[in-house]
């Protein structure tokens, strides 16, 4: 079985020294130390782990908080370019094993569109990944249309990943810091961002744009009926379609970090097997658990082939 993993993180030493992994989460120090080591490595641990568990390709992306943590637009543009050149060099040394999602500085949407163009056409990247909002700005805002147009023109997806510094205080988490981060708030915040994109008309203005959500769709596939029901009872319905109709067309998901067969079957029923792809979330999740989850899933041969590799090959234009 061919396996292509789409949400696989790396770090650059000088970036990690300047902006370490998000401090607001309650991850144990021993895991933080292990992740920091593994994020910087490509050959000593990463490739052997891939070989042991049958991972053919990792699509690499700059780890959280990435470019979204930078407040100075000029610095963000410079760092995005550096990150992409760094990753391109890694891929050039292992062209059969790694591909890349570009880092982009949406602090400057025009520059982000230009860097995406360079990363795809010159460096051979297969899309972009951003860590949720940029400085409290969400990508349904009109200044980002230039970036969505670039994604359409290049026919590559945007992976919307959690992990930006918080834009504001979510009072429900007060006194319960364990809710903050990957346990709960990251998924809820990123899912809400995706809903902003839908309800803000991004996919009506850019009907060929493609978005990827990790973690089994950040809760959304399981709420589509509710979203449609409530939307159809609102005033000023401006969308061309119901919210659910954008899933499986504009919006695709990966299974990263949600090793639940009931959740997988529910997502398949909700949005279809053509819109679900494999991912691990390395190094934050164990590759062994991810592969075991997929190989034991109650899927047909056709569904398994789509999720394990063929959907990714089609959406990301990966050569066989």
**Which residues are catalytically annotated?**
281
Distances (CA, A) of 96 to 33, 38, 313: 29, 20, 14
Residues 59 and 126 sit within 8 Å (Cβ to Cβ)? yes
Backbone angles phi, psi at 8, to 5 degrees: -125, 120
Residues 214 and 7 sit within 8 Å (Cβ to Cβ)? yes
Distances (CA, A) of 299 to 47, 270, 294: 28, 15, 9
Give the Cβ contact number of residue 57 at 10 Å. Answer: 22
Residues 104 and 128 sit within 8 Å (Cβ to Cβ)? yes
Closest CA to 86 of 14, 161, 18, 8: 14
Residues 198 and 246 sit within 8 Å (Cβ to Cβ)? yes
How many CA atoms lie less than 13 Å away from 35 in the CB half-sphere? Answer: 20
């Amino acid at each position: 079985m061919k396996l292509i993993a789409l949400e696989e993180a790396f770090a650059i030493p000088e970036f990690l020294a300047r902006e370490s992994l998000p401090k607001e989460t309650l991850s144990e120090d021993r895991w933080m130390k292990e992740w920091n080591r593994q994020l910087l490595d490509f050959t000593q641990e990463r490739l052997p782990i891939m070989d042991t568990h049958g991972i053919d390709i990792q699509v690499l992306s700059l780890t959280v908080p990435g470019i979204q943590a930078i407040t100075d637009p000029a610095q963000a543009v410079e760092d995005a370019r550096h990150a992409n050149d760094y990753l391109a060099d890694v891929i050039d040394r292992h062209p059969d094993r790694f591909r890349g999602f570009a880092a982009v500085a949406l602090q400057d949407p025009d520059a982000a569109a230009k860097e995406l163009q360079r990363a795809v056409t010159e460096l051979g990247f297969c899309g972009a990944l951003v860590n949720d909002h940029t400085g409290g700005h969400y990508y349904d805002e009109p200044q980002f249309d230039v970036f969505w147009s670039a994604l359409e023109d290049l026919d590559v997806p945007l992976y919307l990943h959690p992990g930006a510094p918080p834009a504001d205080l979510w009072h429900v988490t007060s006194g319960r810091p364990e809710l903050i981060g990957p346990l709960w708030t990251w998924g809820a915040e990123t899912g809400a961002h995706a809903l902003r994109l839908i309800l803000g008309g991004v996919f009506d203005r850019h009907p060929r744009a493609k978005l990827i959500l990790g973690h089994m769709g950040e809760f959304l596939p399981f709420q589509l009926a509710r979203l449609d029901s409530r939307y159809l009872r609102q005033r000023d319905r401006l969308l061309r379609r119901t919210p659910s109709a954008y899933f499986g067309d504009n919006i695709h998901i990966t299974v990263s970090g949600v090793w639940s067969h009931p959740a997988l079957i529910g997502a398949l029923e909700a949005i279809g097997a053509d819109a679900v792809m494999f991912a691990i979330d390395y190094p934050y999740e164990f590759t062994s658990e991810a592969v075991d989850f997929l190989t034991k899933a109650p899927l047909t041969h056709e569904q398994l082939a789509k999720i394990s590799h063929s959907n990714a090959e089609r959406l990301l234009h990966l050569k066989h």
